[in-house]
Structure 1
Amino acid sequence: MITVENVSKSFPGNGTPVTALRDVSLAVDAGALYGVVGPAGAGKSTLARCVALQERPDRGVVRYDGLNTTRLDGRKLRDTRRQVAVVDTRLRDERTVAGNVALPLELGGVDGPQRRNRVGTLLDLIGLTQRAGDRPESLTPGQRRRVAVARALAAAPSVLLADDPTRGVDAEESGALLTVLDRARAELGTTVVLTTPDASVARRVCDDVALLERGTVVESGKLLDLLVKPGSRVAADLLPAVETSRAQTARYDLAVDVVLVGFAAVGALLPEAAYRFDVELATIGGGLTRIGDTPVARFRLGVRGQRADAALAWIAERGGHVTHTLYGLRHVAA
Structure 2
Amino acid sequence: MITVENVSKSFPSSDTPVTALRDVNLSVSAGSLHGLIGPGGAGKSTLARCVALRERPDRGVVRYDGMDTSRLAGRRLWGAQRQVGVVDPDLLPERTVAGNVAAPLERMGLDPAQRRQRVGTLLDVIGLGRSGSRLPAELSAGQQRRVAVARALATAPSVLLADEPTEGVASEESAAVLSVLDRARAELGATVVLTTRDADVARRVCDEVALLDRGRVVESGTLLTLLGKPGSPLAEALLPRVATARAQLSGYDRAVDVVLVGFAAVGALLPEASARFDVDFDTIGGGLTRLGDTPVARFRLGVEGQRADAALAWMAERGAHVSTPLFGLRDAAA
> Partner of 1:173 in structure 2?
173
Quote the Cα distance in structure 2 between the aligned partners of 1:332 and 1:108. Answer: 69
Deviation of 1:332 after TM superposition, in Å, equals: 8.0
**Structure 1 counterpart of 2:305, one-letter code:** G
> Partner of 1:327 in structure 2?
329
> Partner of 1:252 in structure 2?
252
Quote the Cα distance in structure 1 between the aligned partners of 2:107 and 2:40. Answer: 35
Quote the Cα distance in structure 2 between the aligned partners of 1:151 and 1:50. Answer: 21
Report matched runs for 1:1-334 at 5 Å: 1-325=1-325, 326-328=328-330
Range that drifts further, 287-296 or 248-257: 248-257
Quote the Cα distance in structure 1 between the aligned partners of 2:314 and 2:215. Answer: 42
**Deviations, residues 156-205 of structure 1 (Å, cap 9, x unaligned):** 00000001111111111111000000000000000000001111111110
Query: Aligned with 1:188: secondary structure?
Result: coil
Quote the Cα distance in structure 2 between the aligned partners of 1:305 and 1:127. Answer: 54
Quote the Cα distance in structure 2 between the aligned partners of 1:332 and 1:244. Answer: 12
Deviation of 1:327 after TM superposition, in Å, equals: 1.6
**Deviations, residues 298-328 of structure 1 (Å, cap 9, x unaligned):** 0011111111111111111111111025122
Please tell me whether the aligned partners of residues 247 and 333 of structure 2 are also in contact (alpha carbons under 8 angstroms).
no
Quote the Cα distance in structure 1 between the aligned partners of 2:166 and 2:43. Answer: 18
Quote the Cα distance in structure 1 between the aligned partners of 2:6 and 2:304. Answer: 50
Quote the Cα distance in structure 1 between the aligned partners of 2:42 and 2:94. Answer: 36
Quote the Cα distance in structure 2 between the aligned partners of 1:249 and 1:31. Answer: 44
Deviation of 1:112 after TM superposition, in Å, equals: 1.4
Q: CA RMSD in A?
A: 1.2
332 and 24 in structure 1: CA distance in 2 versus 1, 3 angstrom threshold:
closer
**Structure 2 counterpart of 1:327, one-letter code:** L
**Structure 2 counterpart of 1:256, one-letter code:** V
Deviation of 1:245 after TM superposition, in Å, equals: 2.7
Quote the Cα distance in structure 1 between the aligned partners of 2:119 and 2:271. Answer: 51
Query: Aligned with 1:229: secondary structure?
Result: coil
Range that drifts further, 250-259 or 270-279: 250-259
**TM-score after normalising by structure 1:** 0.97
**Structure 1 counterpart of 2:248, one-letter code:** Q
Range that drifts further, 33-42 or 250-259: 250-259
Deviation of 1:17 after TM superposition, in Å, equals: 1.1
Quote the Cα distance in structure 2 between the aligned partners of 1:8 and 1:247. Answer: 48
Deviation of 1:252 after TM superposition, in Å, equals: 1.4
**Structure 2 counterpart of 1:52, one-letter code:** A
Quote the Cα distance in structure 2 between the aligned partners of 1:160 and 1:323. Answer: 38
Q: Where does the alignment leave 5 or more consecutive residues of structure 2 unmatched? A: none
Quote the Cα distance in structure 1 between the aligned partners of 2:290 and 2:313. Answer: 25
**Structure 2 counterpart of 1:104, one-letter code:** P
Deviation of 1:244 after TM superposition, in Å, equals: 2.2
Deviation of 1:137 after TM superposition, in Å, equals: 0.4
Please tell me whether the aligned partners of residues 259 and 299 of structure 2 are also in contact (alpha carbons under 8 angstroms).
yes
Deviation of 1:247 after TM superposition, in Å, equals: 3.0
Query: Aligned with 1:286: secondary structure?
Result: strand
332 and 116 in structure 1: CA distance in 2 versus 1, 3 angstrom threshold:
closer
Quote the Cα distance in structure 2 between the aligned partners of 1:131 and 1:175. Answer: 19
Quote the Cα distance in structure 2 between the aligned partners of 1:180 and 1:54. Answer: 23
Please tell me whether the aligned partners of residues 249 and 302 of structure 2 are also in contact (alpha carbons under 8 angstroms).
yes
Aligned pair count reads 332
**TM-score after normalising by structure 2:** 0.97
> Equivalent pairs: percent with the same residue?
72
Quote the Cα distance in structure 2 between the aligned partners of 1:58 and 1:332. Answer: 52
Please tell me whether the aligned partners of residues 246 and 333 of structure 2 are also in contact (alpha carbons under 8 angstroms).
no
Quote the Cα distance in structure 1 between the aligned partners of 2:222 and 2:10. Answer: 29
**Structure 2 counterpart of 1:30, one-letter code:** A
Quote the Cα distance in structure 2 between the aligned partners of 1:43 and 1:246. Answer: 38
Please tell me whether the aligned partners of residues 142 and 169 of structure 2 are also in contact (alpha carbons under 8 angstroms).
yes
